[in-house]
Amino acid sequence: MMIKKIGIIANIEKEKSAEYTLLLRDWTLKQGVEGFLEEDIARKLGEETGLERRKMASQVDLLVVFGGDGTLLRTVRFVSEYDIPIVGINLGEFGYLTEVNLNEMFSALELIFKGDFQTEKRMMLDITIQLGDETVKQQSILNDVVITRGNLSRILDLETTVNDRYLTTFRADGIIIATPTGSTAYSLSAGGPIVFPEQDSFIINPICPHTLTNRPIIIPDNVQIKVILWTKGHGATLTLDGQISYTMRSGDSMIIKKSRYVTNLVSSPHRDYMQILRTKLGWGGSPTSANKC
């Protein structure tokens, strides 16, 4: 696939995001590729030709996202209905999702523009939230949905079913339902397993469970998970991808299913997923040094 048009999205709160956006657009034009700016970064640059994210995704061959993993997660929610490859350029230390570093941006994009790249189809979640008499349907999310007790001292009672079959009632500080992509986010911090992104599945991970035998569980992606909050009092907080929050009361619930949409992440031409894990998690040693032990 040859790239002829790209859309550029940037976290305008990141230092030098405007500077690197202009550098990329100028360089892109020299490569014979047309570059379009998302409306927020265009406005910061004083331009009036910026495009809304969904409109941009419908017109280009590739989205380039400047920022961190949070910026990419926010972008995915808006463009999930478009089957478009996305490459993340990290403006700090490289992340799990924004794999390309600034110092390798041009060399990576040069290969990508020629069609010399691979994409990973990342599983997403569809969430339906029932708050009292109101049903809230959200767009697909990439990482996780989390229920936590917030600043409350009371432990949560979270009845959990799989395909309408009772699993257990977790008594815990909260619960995380994550995709394999989200396994290296909050779930990992809460003691959950790392799951390779290509392995479609759900991770159910209780946060600080009252019963120590309540452990994370990985289940197939062809099921429906339902979690009902039964804790009385001030309720709990439900968060989608760490960015959208709702307040839940006793009796409120959420349903999680595998989405029909996927996120097409462009793999870095310079490193693979295992190298990213080694770097981010501080796993030491090269094969040569390990063999000397």
Give, for all 293 residues of the chain, the pLDDT tens digit. 789 999 999 999 988 899 999 999 999 999 999 999 999 999 999 999 999 999 999 999 999 999 999 999 999 999 999 999 999 999 876 578 888 888 899 999 999 999 888 999 999 999 999 999 999 988 899 999 999 997 777 899 999 999 999 999 999 999 999 999 999 999 999 999 999 998 999 999 999 999 888 999 999 999 999 999 999 877 899 999 999 999 999 999 999 999 999 999 998 887 778 888 887 788 876 665 545 54
Domains held by the chain: number = 2
Q: What is the pLDDT of residue 41?
A: 95
Longest CA pairwise span in the chain (Å): 64
Same domain, 16 and 133: no
Instruction: Give yes or no: residues 114 and 168 share one domain.
Output: no
pLDDT value, residue 216:
96
Same domain, 145 and 198: yes
Which tokens in the block code for residue 183? 């396994």
The range of the structural domain enclosing residue 255 comes to 124-261
> Domain check: are 112 and 230 in the same one?
no
From the list 26, 69, 126, 252, the catalytic residue is: 69
Q: Are residues 165 and 58 in the same domain?
A: no
Helices 17-30 and 105-113, axial angle in degrees (round to 10): 40
Reply yes or no on whether 69 is catalytic.
Answer: yes
Looking at the fold, whether 193 and 69 belong to one and the same domain comes out as no
For residues 217 and 108, state if they share a domain. Answer: no
Compute the distance between CA of residue 149 and CA of residue 112 in angstroms, rounded to an integer: 44
Q: Contacts from 54-58 at CB under 8 Å and sequence distance 24+?
A: 54/78, 54/79, 54/81, 54/82, 56/7, 56/9, 57/7, 57/82, 57/84, 58/82
